[in-house]
Amino acid sequence: MDARNSVRRIVVTLAGVGRSYDHSWWLVEGIAEYVRVTGGARPFDGLGDLRKYVYSGRWSGDAALDAPPSDTSASDVNGRYAVAYLAVRRLADRFGEDKMLDFFAAVARDGQPLAEAAPAVLGVPWDDLATDLTLAVRTTAR
């Protein structure tokens, strides 16, 4: 799949979805950042806020973040977006864009729990995948 087709497919990932995606916030916003970076709009520029957030003690270590509370600082919000982007990028790097998008569809569009979608779509248990995503984020934050 070339980059233009991939970006088009990603952009329409939530078309027609009428429900809340609070518990898949990290996937939805991670995809948005992935489109921005992959589409060439701007390079990834969240490293500073990522480092601040990861080492602040406010990050739980979980890449599957819910939407930030309304009183979250701008720097922490940016850090959370960076975590989401890096998690989605890791999914695409490890499994390929098509599988990453299939996983996104299962969770964000179809509402499958992560523990069901990861083995069904990606062939790995969610706990193992979550550990891998956290490691990818922490490695980038170094």
Answer yes or no: are the C-beta atoms of 107 and 24 closer than 8 Å.
yes
Query: 18 pLDDT exceeds 90?
Result: no
d(CA 126, CA 71): 30
Q: Where are the domains of the chain?
A: 3-8+21-141
The model's confidence at residue 1, banded by pLDDT at 50, 70 and 90, is very low
The model's confidence at residue 108, banded by pLDDT at 50, 70 and 90, is confident
User: In 17-107, where do the E strands start and end?
Assistant: none
d(CA 89, CA 119): 19
Residue 137 has which token pair?
């984020």
CB under 8 Å to 102, separation ≥6 — which residues?
A: 121
pTM of the model: 0.86
d(CA 96, CA 14): 20
Answer yes or no: are the C-beta atoms of 108 and 24 closer than 8 Å.
yes
